[in-house]
């Protein structure tokens, strides 16, 4: 009898212990679940034990925009040395290996983006990387003179951005020697530090790749690089692209006229606007003239057009978009400049300045 009582008591105690242990276990997991819900970091710390249904996407920071060329990737720290000799189709400039600052455009194709997606215990990773350079192509055109024609086999069309660079103009550099006292002179409106020398690739009237150069305001340098890179991709034809100093004729207005006679595309020149005593947008590096022979400056008197350049006679009234190199509102240059906030002189009532794009 006593033995039966002992066994009964022992069984009861064991039952109580088991119930208590079960309650403790339930309490523990309940608290853990609450803690997990309240603290998201529990997910990361307990990933080996807890299977998550959440999806995480991680993307690297994209390259800096060209809106401010001083914030873009710097390709080298040498200074461009360009001869101050006048260039023509039969002459070349001497360019040394030194450059002051080269700012190189970074396109979407160059951006390396890594996306990683994790669901539960399964991970999938996709990486997009810059395509390798085309074998035998040029890495840069910074050491080539404006006007230099380049075989298409030498151009890496998958990475055109490396052929569009922006450089500060140093007072002890060859570019400054070319422009000082000509297109640039000390003044109260624009300082040398406000300007950038651009080296760019363009397609000439023969459909060949050709080296071009231009000086613009640093505030628009990035946009100008993007615009002309897009035009180059489209094989948009530009006859030539030299600094206006290559056609210097003693004054800004006379040199502008000489540049137009040569059908040269240019930008900066510290001078007054045509038929006006006001400062031109060109004087601030905020205007660009493209293919001026096919896109002349025209004034009207009694409804009759008046123009100054005989080479433009066939294009004064023939403004059809089907005519080669004529800029209209259907033109790629017009659309690109408009998209970047520039205005077109061809939209003016009088004068009509079909070659002219300006910012601000």
**155-166 confidence digits (pLDDT tens):** 999 999 999 999
> For 1-5, what is the mean pLDDT?
45
Q: What is the pLDDT of residue 45?
A: 35
Q: pTM (2 decimals)?
A: 0.66
* Lowest mean pLDDT segment, chosen from 39-43, 221-225, 236-240: 39-43
pLDDT tens digits, residue range 90-148? 333 333 333 333 333 333 333 333 333 333 333 334 344 456 677 899 999 999 999 99
Between residues 131 and 295, the one the model is more confident about: 295
Is the confidence at residue 338, as pLDDT, over 80?
yes
With 0-12 / 13-18 / 19 or more C-beta atoms within 10 angstroms meaning exposed / middle / buried, residue 123 is exposed
Q: Quote the mean pLDDT of the chain.
A: 75
CA distance readout (Å), 306 to 198, 260, 277, 313, 352: 34, 16, 20, 10, 10
Residue 144: strand, helix, or coil: coil
Here the tokens at position 110 are: 């160059």
Nearest in space to 141 (alpha carbons), one of 93, 210, 87? 210
Q: What is the pLDDT of residue 276?
A: 74
Residue 270: strand, helix, or coil: coil
Which residues fall within 8 angstroms of residue 266, CB to CB, at 6 or more apart? 214, 241, 242, 243, 244, 256, 259, 288, 289
- DSSP assignment, residue 36? H
Between residues 326 and 125, the one the model is more confident about: 326
Is the confidence at residue 193, as pLDDT, over 90?
yes
- How many helices (H) and strands (E) would you count in the chain? 6, 16
């Amino acid at each position: 009898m006593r033995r039966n009582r002992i066994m009964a008591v022992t069984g009861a105690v064991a039952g109580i212990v088991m119930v208590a242990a079960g309650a403790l276990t339930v309490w523990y997991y309940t608290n853990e679940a609450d803690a997990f819900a309240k603290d998201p970091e529990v997910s990361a710390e307990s990933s080996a034990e807890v299977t998550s249904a959440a999806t995480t996407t991680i993307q690297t920071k994209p390259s800096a925009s060209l809106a401010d060329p001083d914030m873009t990737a710097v390709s080298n720290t040498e200074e461009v040395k360009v001869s101050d000799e006048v260039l023509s189709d039969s002459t070349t400039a001497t360019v040394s290996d030194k450059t002051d600052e080269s700012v190189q455009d970074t396109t979407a194709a160059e951006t390396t983006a890594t996306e990683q997606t994790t669901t539960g215990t399964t991970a999938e990773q996709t990486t997009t990387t810059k395509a390798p350079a085309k074998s035998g192509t040029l890495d840069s055109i910074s050491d080539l003179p404006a006007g230099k024609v380049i075989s298409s086999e030498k151009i890496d069309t998958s990475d055109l951005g490396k052929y569009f660079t922006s450089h500060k103009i140093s007072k002890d550099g060859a570019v400054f020697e070319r422009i000082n006292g000509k297109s640039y002179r000390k003044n109260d409106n624009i300082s040398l530090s406000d300007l950038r020398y651009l080296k760019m690739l363009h397609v000439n009237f023969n459909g060949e790749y050709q080296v071009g150069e231009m000086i613009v305001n640093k505030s628009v340098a990035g946009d100008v690089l993007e615009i002309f890179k897009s035009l180059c991709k489209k094989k948009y034809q530009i006859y030539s692209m030299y600094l206006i100093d290559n056609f210097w004729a003693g004054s800004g207005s006379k040199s502008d006229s000489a540049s137009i006679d040569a059908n040269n595309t240019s930008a900066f020149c510290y001078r007054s606007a045509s038929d006006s005593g006001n400062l031109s947008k060109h004087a601030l590096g905020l205007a660009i003239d493209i293919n001026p022979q096919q896109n002349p400056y025209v004034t009207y008197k009694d409804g009759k057009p008046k123009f100054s350049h005989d080479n433009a006679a066939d294009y004064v009234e023939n403004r059809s978009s089907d005519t080669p190199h004529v800029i209209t509102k259907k033109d790629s240059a017009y659309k690109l400049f408009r998209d970047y906030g520039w205005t077109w002189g061809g939209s003016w009532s009088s004068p009509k300045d079909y070659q002219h794009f300006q910012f601000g």
